[in-house]
Structure 1
Amino acid sequence: MKLLYNVFLLFIFCVLPVQLLWAQGATTAALSGTVKDQTGTALPGATVIAIHTPTNTQYVASTNTDGYYNIQNMRVGGPYTVTTSYIGYQEQRISSVNLALGQTARVDFSLAESSRQLGEVEIVGEQNDVFNQDRTGAATNVSRDQIENLPTLSRSLQDFTRLTPQASGNSIAGSNNRYNNITIDGAVNNDVFGLSGSGTPGGQAGSQPISLDAIQEIQVVVAPYDVKLGNFTGGGVNAVTRSGTNTFTGSVYGYGRNEDIIGKSVVEPREKADEFKNYQYGVRLGGPIIQDKLFFFFNYDATRFTEPVRFAPGSTESQIPFDVAQELSEYVQSTYGYDVGSFGAIDRETQSDKFFGRIDWNINDKHQLTVRHNVVDAFDDNISRSSDEIRFGNNAYRFNSTTHSSVLELNSRFSNEFSNNLIIGYTRIRDSREAQGEFFPQVTIFDPIADFEFGSQRSSTANELDQDIFEFTDNFTYLLGRHNFTIGTHNEFFDFRNLFINNFNGRWEFNSLEDFYNNNPRRVRATYSLLDNNPTPAAEFNALQLGFYAQDEYTASEQLRLTLGLRVDIPVFPDKPQENTQFENDFRNVYPGLETDRTPSGQLLWAPRFGFNFTPTEDRSLQFRGGTGIFTGRVPFVWLSNQFVNTGTILGTIDRRNPDSFVEDVNQLIDPSQPQTFEINVIEDDFKLPQVWRSNLAIDYTLPYEVFLTVEGIYSKTLNDVVYKDLNLVDPVGTLPGDSPDNREIYPSNRRINESYTNVILLDNTDEGYRYSLTGQLRKDFVNGLQMTLAYTYGKSKDVNSGTNSTALSNYEFNQIVNNPNDPQLSYSRFDIRHRIIGSAGYTFRYGANDNFATGISLFYQGQSGQPFTYLYNGDLNREGNFANDLIYVPRDQSEINLVPFSSGGVTYSADEQWEALDDFIENDDYLSDRRGQYAERNGARMPWTHQFDLRVFQDFMLEAGNNRHKFQITFDIFNVGNLLNHEWGHQYFVSNEANEIIRYAGLDDDGIPTFTFNPNSRRYNIAPFASRWQGQLGLRYLFNDRQ
């Protein structure tokens, strides 16, 4: 296989004696400090031994001429016992040292002379992940204790990345979630193809990438200036898995919720939830194979989830009458013999099974080897509805996903000066969609009352994705005096097969139910194969992303540490799309040099970085830190996959306006006597992967009573991001006719430069865009076990295209504009944070003989600005060919909008009645009322603020039996506690596709003036019927010799 050949060549080239403070994703921790006598004189050659107590793994170092030691590639967690000795001095031991993922703990020793006869000196270690010389940029570490004690609804990574103040949902630092990098045990665990909203494999099947019971610690980095961290312009999420120890430990657990522990609907009449179930259960076991030498860990985790799909016609949540939906269903059945499926209450099912296994081998005191394998097998039934949209049952699809992920990691310490970290990973992902019901065209009816959709889901009748990902990371560190030099490489090799033929079954649109019954379609689209022997051709290609870097981490003094590094990333595409010389000739005069076989291969993307950490006070109560540098990310490979099939030589496209009549058989649309048309996707010659220049500055300060205050600012300037253009669109021919101040540009009816092509979408770069955030955070750890944190973030993010879709055409046509879609303007990003507040508190009370009983409580709060969305016209007002991208003009009075009567649900609304309702709608909308006489902005409006409190209460019962410890734990989580107290609290909101098409373009009147309608029943947003209710979750767990 070509991919393996490339891997072999690069492996031979790159295998050098190569460490890790952080690898591509952090997997280990480190320990450093000084050994001095009590006069402050350095003791060179002192021996430092750190022992990982659970496994008896030993790490040995000796101090240099400055009395400084540094131990790399240590196990995360602990506890550790650290001992130092020096001839003529009293040995000193520090116990209960715990190491955080990706950080270097500082442990200093002050030894007394042996002649003083002080006896053995033992100290309990105290670590502080706030005041840590490794910290330069924003980062959040989530410990095993937090994972075990904080409330979690889905038992997902996202339930804990939300502890990062600069994160919102799956977005970090106001960036597209596709621009994050997620690693587990140092290996990529991204959805690198870019289709999953969660950003992880299996996300489209509703599954988590790994069981939470297999996770040891999580780290989120936003602005790390270590050059070993790369492949993101958003944030990096690193997690390491649990391992076995010298003690056999295990757990059996189950968590569940159903309709009996969930609140009633939040709108009148308040009704009990329909029957549903969500059960998660599993088992884990770990222990020694050979004491002190070889350890194992195993985990099995399962999810079984069935929930009702809300917004059934005729219900209080839906504005669609039951009889309207029933009439449509019966008409389609009697006229075309097709069953559209249920339009009433239906259930969707999600299921996953996860298997995880890990082996750790202490080869000797210099080398530790880890091998682990993770399997996720899942499926999810996908169907959604809203108050003004109904998808009939057979428009659903089932998404199937299976992932196998293997990692081998070798940590080596050759001497005090030389250490190395090697990671080799392989991931195999197989995804597919199954459309429900019989094969039938998708039909969408844009009626004034609501949208109706039935038929086979248009993206699911030819949709499969195979991914094979191999990666190789090696980092070598050389400690020379106070310099910590690192050289390394991180390389990823991809083998893709993507079968995706959108509209393979045909896609029909109608302006109204009346038009559908009268067989008067407004548009039909379809895609078909041009290959005689292959009706479903797929994009098959290999890709490589190579990274090389060097860095010096210089400890200038005990107060100042500087980091300076340089990284270069190189995308390589061994395969090219097919060349289409006919197309290139057709567009030679339109866009000279355009080629269909172009890829962004061979670009050298340089990323210099600088970071600093300065603590001016001896008691380390004040810390200044920050840095600046360039970060290079990935482009979701789905965006590049478009180029491999949309060359005009593999797939043909049909896009007709106002066709004669609806036909069921998509093959009847292919007329050999008519000229063929094609969609073309191409890429700019010097296209570069996403890059940002990111800088941050932070102050950490210890207030009275050991309260830690952090103030941190982050600014990111776009260097390279994506923008899409349609090269087949003619120039506008004027402005909107009439007396309205809305003078947007309009296009002629013949808007294509070349009628042989539907769209020619160019993927290009832009340097427009920025994002910034300012965060203030307070944290207090009390001696009695109480922990409290509170953080506020203000952030703003702007871009020209938020890149929320998977195809080139969708990213182009759904990017909302006023004028030329090929010149989109800078506006708010879909991932704009604005205001976000998070807080958490937890306390565990232990009592009884030998503390055999414990009661714990923890609370998490999140309040934030509502999600951004856009106000649009329903229809193609500017006639450039797209029906859902025209930003509305907000009228000041009725003279600025030409409303015409319309009927809905048997009721006719006059122009005056519509204006009265529209005027009231605008006046009662904070955003629109401020935009009168102006255009709405892309993502300019926001849903209401959301507030959510989540609570966990647990009770432990412990029993000692010989040397074994048994614990039984009962947990009860309540999510959205506010709604439990008051049904008006805790509401969550959504707008379908984050776009509210409140005004419908109704065509031109006899004078050629645009006309519009407004449905007085329109809503600004929907209240999420399930997420707005409080939900309870009961958990039962048995633990054997486990510290949890």
Structure 2
Amino acid sequence: MHAIRSVGGALTILLALNALVFAQGTADIVGRVTDTSGGVLPAVTVTAENIATKNVRTTITSGTGDYVFTLLPIGVYTVRIELTGFQPVNSRVELATGDRARVDARLQLGTVEESIIVTGVSPLLQTDSATVSSLIDQKTVQDAPIPGRNIIRMVQLIPGASEGAVSSLANGTRPDERRQTSSVSINGVNDVLNNQLVDGMDNNERSIGTVAIKPSIDAIAEVRVQTNMYTAETGRTLGGVINIITKSGGNQFHGSGFEFGRHERFDSRLFFAEGKPITRQNQYGGSLGGPIKSSKTFFFADYEGYRIRQGVPSLITVPTVKMRTGDFSELSTPIYDAMNAVRTPFPGNVIPAERFDPIAAKYVALYPMPTNGALSNNYAFTNNRTQNNQATDFRVDHRFNDNDTVFARYSYNKTDTVTPSLCPPVTIGSQTIDPTCIVGGAATGNYAGPNYTSAHNMVGSWAHVFSATTISEIKANFSKPDILSLGPNYGKNLGDFFGVANANDGTADASGLPLMEMRPTTFAAVGETQWVPLHVYNKAYQVAGSVTQARGAHNLKIGGAMVLRRWGVLQSNSAQGLWGFDSTPTNSGTGTGGHAFASFLLGYPTDVRRLYTPGSPVYHTDESSAYVQDDWRATSWLTVNLGVRYDVFGPLTEKDDHLSNFVPAEGKLLVAGQDGVSRTAGVKTDFSNIGPRLGFSSTLPHQMVLRGGWGLAYYPNNKNAGAYMKNPPFTANYGPITSNAASNGVPNMFLKDGLPVVTFSSPQSPAGNVIGTDVNFKSDRSKQFNLMIEKEFAGNVVTAGYIGSRGDRLNLGVAMNYNLAPAGPGAVQSRRPYFSQYPQMANVNILSNVGKSTYNAWQFGFNRRYRTGLTMNSHYTWSHSRQMTPVPWDFSQFEWGDTQQFDVRHRWALTANYELPWGKTFTGVAHGFLSAWQVNSTAYLQSGVAYTVVNAASRTNTGNNAGTLNGGDRPNINGNPNLPADQRTVQQWFDTSVFSAAPQFTSGNVGLSEMHGPPQRRLDMSIFKDLSMGGTRKLQLRVEVYNVTNTPSFGLPDFNFGSTGFGSISNTGNSIPRQMQFGVKYLF
């Protein structure tokens, strides 16, 4: 920590002395001035005037004839180049964020009166930078059909990007993020490893990696996304740098007012739904910007409200009517009695009622009756989800003089959401109980209950021009996103109600319904979802900056940044306890037969656990960086980008030292601040994050540019649960303790016994799961490289190129279980490596940098700038993303496979706007009706994402969970599981017959991520009619249609071998049916 403070202190001094820049909504203009013979002209005066604000900047060319304007706010500029005795040249150029526009001039002899006017637009070819980036301009932001007016939907359409995983932390389906999706995967990288910025400053929610604030569409000027070979001034990412630029006011008043609405009457039915669920959505608001004092002070303000009530249809698996009574005669597999030394089937496959566990017998009433006679996917239900959202922004820009400008902005978001359960509430006696009916695993289910999310953000900036060649800016930022998610039964001690001993301890966070999880997790579980309640509170303080100086053909930039993060995460894995049931206690003892619900009725859990963390921890970490960048115009046709960046991401500390870390090498827990242990619980600071950047851009004949580069980037991926080191003596843990029945023995754990009394254990005798971080934890690292070629023709640009990366030192979300029992028979606990030393300790999951990844892609793009009413951006990406991770049943082995849920082999995307030419020559009523129509569209088509087939019930008996996408052991495969396209159905997506059970206590030969899910496709369109109201005022009538073709994009099939639904698909993931939205917008 002393080293971090030293780095931070040095940066603070740098900022105080030098000021800075940090990639806000700014751009550069560069150029070289020569005479008609090609000789360079020094001391030429060059001015750049912002047309909207009248702000003027002046510089002179160097001895090599070069000039540069840096830190220019985005907008339209007039560039004037003049030298006594020569004709002046006037050019018009439009700048977008991150542009490095080249305005060269060849001066001719003459006088001022003989000036040359050049009509220009924003640059088409990228002639001076190797960075791979995409721009979403203001017209696209305002006109594209964007579901929910969520700008992330447009980021998902840039080259190399796709929507993240269905179960992602950022996709709006989890308690961590209930707002509209923030999920975007860039170049095959996990969607929470991006760097989110607003106006160039930090916009990252620290605990999970999503965004802090989401400005309204009407507040966004444009979005710049860097995807490979980042500039040295940007980092903290392995995926993309997403920079949202907010609007500012100008010398004219401009604004908007809007109302959009949706109703189920105009929507289609979701594929698996029995009818059209209710949809009532309203989105409304407005914006206003203009001068406070002409050419000096400007403001911009906006507000947006969003209200939606929407039915959520579900199709889940619940026990049949016969199963509820213990009758499993509908199954082809027998149910065995595990209480016999040699297991024998129950006569008629019926469990006698007198054998029911008393708690299980009561819980059965929580399950709804099936709505059809099938064994799986037999209950359809629709429940309503509600969400109310508010977003507002206020920005002021002030110009003291030509050398000093400042701006300040405040943004606020507030979202209240109620997520429904997948089955209705049940009244038993005096209690009304929400069963939740979780599907997909307790940690990845629907997370029913209320959520309250709010976010504040403030930023301020001061730019100062020292001279014609030197400029600086200083900026500061404060961000405060907070999250509260609760379960539907929060505050009710339902464990006491059902007689589950010690499940509720009297505290609010341990209230609710104890969870009975059925495995495979496609069978509905009842109880509170894991990881809820969730309390997250964040504070981030940032200063950042640089000094930029032009020296001849070199444009030098030096700067740095520091982010101080303070946040808390109060969350328990299973505060009320979790009982896991699978088929092993009721199978034959050799792996055949059995059923999870039968094990549940008998009260034979496979494992029992509780992880409860009371209190309110507050974590601290610092992120410091410094960089140097040199953009060198080596020749008239070659620019070289040289840079180096240095990042220091400090390990976590907690305000009261409530961290304890298990160190396998020492075989013990280290408690922060005790016995000489550091406040980081032994985790060392990583000082190795040196990131060189080398790139070039070469202007070729025939309006072509060849550019490429190589660089290193780093990410502080120590934010997930293991990094918080919630262990004894700061937790009350129990288990997971595994029953003898899991290894085909006689059950020795029973639901009726409830949980033991759990007390806070000491570091000397830890119990239950223990988590921690490798003491030598390193920042994730990515080697990035690209080679691209661009060709301009007739105002269009075609692009082709290769983009690649090699990741190492990666924490891929896989914790190394150092206490994993070897595969084999018998009780799991006694076979664990640390059993003799810590007999009550279960899994020991340590975050380690053992992962590796590769990404290779070819990108092809076509960009048509606005001409004859048409704008178009179309691109195709052919890519392959792979990862290396530990084998889930043996962490001493590693395997390569496609990056699960992020390997998208083929993806095509389109954004287009077309102003219809009709009616322009008409007059009167015909002109009013036929003119000013516009059609807009977005579309994508992609191949399916990767997944792994796993066992529904563990065969290895190691204590690792089965039935999860990343964990568990696997069956054998003998043959090709991929069915011909015309044979794939939702009932059977792949050939299940090629899979078979591996021998007991072994894992099969199924490889990691060898299967790919269904393809995804969608077309969204809108049509506008503008009604002129005089001057710049107009009324815009809009109809928007999402998923025009009503094509379902299915989710992943059931990949749990041994489940009744194995190979079938029962959901459409994040897909939507065709939806229509009507809107009106007033613009002036």
SS for the counterpart of 1:177 is coil
1:835-888 residue CA offsets vs partner (Å, 9 max, x unmatched): 111123221136367998511112222010112222111112111112322343
Structure 1 CA distance for aligned equivalents of residues 811 and 781 of structure 2: 10
Are the aligned partners of 1:720 and 1:765 in contact in 2 as well (CA < 8 Å)? yes
User: How far is the alpha carbon of 1:1020 from its aligned partner?
Assistant: 3.4
- Matching of residue 335 in structure 1 with residue 383 in structure 2: no
User: Is 1:866 matched up with 2:944?
Assistant: yes
Query: Matches of 2:823 and 2:153 in 1, distance apart?
Result: 51
2:1071 to 1021, 1027, 1040: 1027
1:74 corresponds in structure 2 to 72
Shift of 1:938: 2.5
The residue that corresponds to 2:590 in the other structure is: none
Contact map agreement 1:309 1:384 (CA 8 A) in 2: no
User: Paired residue for 2:229?
Assistant: 224
- Select 1:440's aligned residue among 482, 499, 512: 512
What is the DSSP-based 3-state SS (H/G/I as helix, E as strand, rest coil) of the residue aligned with 1:353?
strand
Per-residue displacement from partner, 1:392-434 (whole Å, max 9, x unpaired)? 9997222211111111112222112111122210111221112
2: distance between equivalents of 1:111 and 1:6? Answer: 51
Once residues 27 and 691 of structure 2 are traced to their aligned partners in structure 1, the CA distance between those partners, rounded to angstroms, is 25
Contact 2:416 2:450 in 1 (8 A): yes
Instruction: Say which of 435, 438, 443 aligns to 1:391.
Output: 438
State the match for 1:741 in structure 2.
none
Aligned equivalents of 1:473 and 1:341: distance in 2? Answer: 56
Describe the superposition over 1:39-72 as per-residue Cα deviations: whole angstroms up to 9, x where unpaired. Answer: 4343322222222112112222222223322111
Match of 2:121 in 1: 126
Alignment match of 1:989 (pick from 1050, 1063, 1082): 1050
Percentage of pairs with the same residue: 21
The answer on 1:431 being equivalent to 2:477 is no
Letter in 1 for 2:483: D
Distance 1:19 1:82 in 2: 26
**How far apart, in 2, do the equivalents of 1:927 and 1:844 lie?**
54
Matched residue SS, 2:192: helix
Q: Please, what TM-score do these two structures have when normalized by structure 2?
A: 0.79
**Of 610, 627, 631, which aligns to 2:713?**
631
Moved more, 232-241 or 10-19: 10-19
Alignment partner for residue 203 of structure 2, among 183, 189, 192? 189
Q: Cα distance, 1:225 vs. partner?
A: 4.2
The aligned residue for residue 246 of structure 1 is 251
- Tell me how far 1:951 sits from its aligned partner: 0.9
Q: How does 1:290-369 map to 2 (within 5 A)?
A: 290-311=293-314, 317-318=315-316, 320=318, 335=362, 344-369=381-406
Instruction: Indicate the residue corresponding to 1:943 in structure 2.
Output: 1013
| Cα distance in 2 for residues equivalent to 1:286 and 1:3 | 45
Aligned 8 A contact 1:394 1:436 in 2: no
* 492 and 171 in structure 1: CA distance in 2 versus 1, 3 angstrom threshold: same
Corresponding residue for 1:18? 18
Contact 2:989 2:1064 (C-alpha < 8 Å) held by counterparts: no
What SS is found at the alignment partner of 1:794? strand
TM-score scaled to structure 1, two decimals? Answer: 0.82
- 1:57 partner letter: N
Deviations 1:487-509 (A, max 9, x none): 11121111122212211111122
Structure 2: distance between partners of 1:727 and 1:263:
47
Alpha carbons of 1:176 and 1:1026: their partners in 2 closer, same or farther (altered >3 Å)?
A: closer
The residue type equivalent to 1:422 in the other structure is I
Give the CA deviation at 1:119: 4.0
Q: Could you tell me how far apart the structure 2 residues matched to 1:51 and 1:233 are?
A: 37
Decide whether aligned partners of structure 1 residues 319 and 760 sit closer, same or farther in structure 2, where only a CA change above 3 A counts: closer
1:379 to 416, 419, 436: 416
Counterpart of 2:597 in structure 1 is 513
Identify if the C-alpha distance between structure 1 residues 636 and 146 changes in structure 2 by more than 3 Å, giving closer, same or farther.
farther
Q: Which amino acid aligns with 2:890?
A: N
* Aligned equivalents of 2:526, 2:906: Cα separation in 1: 39
Quickly say closer, same or farther: Cα 1:107–1:399, change in 2 above 3 A: same
Distance in 2, matches of 1:782 and 1:583, equals 60
Distance of aligned partners of 1:655 and 1:105 in 2 relative to their CA distance in 1, 3 Å threshold: same
Cα distance in 2 for partners of 1:974, 1:325 equals 44
CA distance in structure 1 between the partners assigned to 2:1070 and 2:681 by the alignment: 47
1:781 aligns with 2:779: no
Residues 707, 586 of structure 1: alpha-carbon distance in 2 compared, 3 angstrom cutoff: closer
Asked if 1:524 is matched to 2:640, the reply is no
**C-alpha distance 28-785 of structure 1, shift in aligned 2 (>3 A):** same
Give the whole-Å Cα distance in 2 for the aligned partners of 1:672 and 1:154. 48
Matched position secondary structure for 1:122: strand
Q: Which amino acid aligns with 2:713?
A: F
CA distance in 2, matches of 1:49, 1:582: 62
Determine the structure 1 residue equivalent to 2:750.
661
Q: Name the residue aligned to 1:148.
A: 142
Change beyond 3 A, Cα 1:285–1:104? same
1:277 to 1:602, Cα distance in 2 relative to 1, 3 A: same
Q: Per-residue displacement from partner, 1:562-587 (whole Å, max 9, x unpaired)?
A: 01111111122473655769988971
Distance 1:305 1:921, change over 3 A: closer
Residue 708 (str. 1) matches residue 711 (str. 2): no
Aligned to 2:786: 696
Q: Which runs of no fewer than 5 residues in structure 1 stay unpaired? A: 202-207, 312-316, 530-535, 738-745, 802-814, 897-916, 980-985, 1001-1014
Secondary structure (helix, strand or coil) at the match of 2:1058 reads strand
Match of 1:168 among 162, 169, 173: 162
Of 84, 87, 96, the match for 1:87: 84
Q: How does 1:220-299 map to 2 (within 5 A)?
A: 220-266=225-271, 272-299=275-302
Contact map agreement 2:873 2:911 (CA 8 A) in 1:
yes
Cα deviation for residue 383 of structure 1 reads 4.9
Cα distance, 1:606 vs structure 2? 0.7
Residue 695 of structure 1, CA deviation: 1.0
> Paired residue for 1:587?
667
- Matched position secondary structure for 2:69: strand
Q: Is the 8 A contact 2:157 2:940 kept in 1?
A: no
Shift of residue 356, structure 1, vs aligned partner: 0.5
Of the structure 1 ranges 349-358 and 34-43, higher mean CA displacement relative to structure 2 is found in 34-43
Out of 147, 155, 159, the position equivalent to 2:153 is: 159
Name which of 549, 553, 560 aligns with 1:489: 560
Give the whole-Å Cα distance in 1 for the aligned partners of 2:893 and 2:581. Answer: 29
- Partner of 1:408: helix, strand, or coil? strand
Deviation at 1:373, TM superposition (A): 0.7
- Aligned equivalent of 1:751: 832
CA distance in 2, matches of 1:67, 1:281: 52
**How far apart are the structure 1 equivalents of 2:462 and 2:325?**
66
2-structure distance, mates of 1:863, 1:441: 42
Deviation readout 1:448-492 (Å, 9 max, x if unpaired): 89512222223113x211111011111111110001111111211
> Residue 192 of structure 1 contacts residue 636 of structure 1 at CA under 8 Å; is this kept in 2?
no
Does 2:685 match 1:601?
Answer: yes
3-state DSSP of counterpart to 1:114: coil
Q: Which residue is equivalent to 2:593?
A: none
- Number of residue equivalences: 930
- Match among 475, 496, 502 for residue 573 of structure 2: 502
Runs of 5+ unmatched residues, structure 2? 164-183, 327-357, 370-378, 424-435, 440-444, 493-510, 583-595, 671-675, 740-747, 978-983
| 2:546 is aligned with 1:475 | yes
The alpha-carbon distance between structure 1 residues 672 and 632, as it changes in their structure 2 partners (threshold 3 A), is closer
**SS of corresponding position for 1:524:** strand
Q: CA deviation at 1:647?
A: 4.7
* Shift of residue 725, structure 1, vs aligned partner: 4.9
Match of 1:103 among 88, 92, 99: 99
- For 2:810 and 2:993, the matched residues in 1 are separated by 31
Query: Equivalent of 1:974, from 1041, 1059, 1079?
Result: 1041
Residue 684 of structure 1 deviates from its aligned partner by 2.1
What whole-Å deviation, never above 9, does each CA across 1:68-105 have from its counterpart, x for those lacking one?
221111111x222222222223333223x210111111
Deviation at 1:24, TM superposition (A): 4.5
- In 2, distance between residues paired with 1:767 and 1:870? 18
Q: Tell me, what secondary structure is at the counterpart of 2:13?
A: helix
Shift of 1:733: 5.8
Deviation at 1:594, TM superposition (A): 11
The CA deviation string for residues 210-234 of structure 1, in whole angstroms up to 9 with x for no partner, is: 2111110111111134210111111
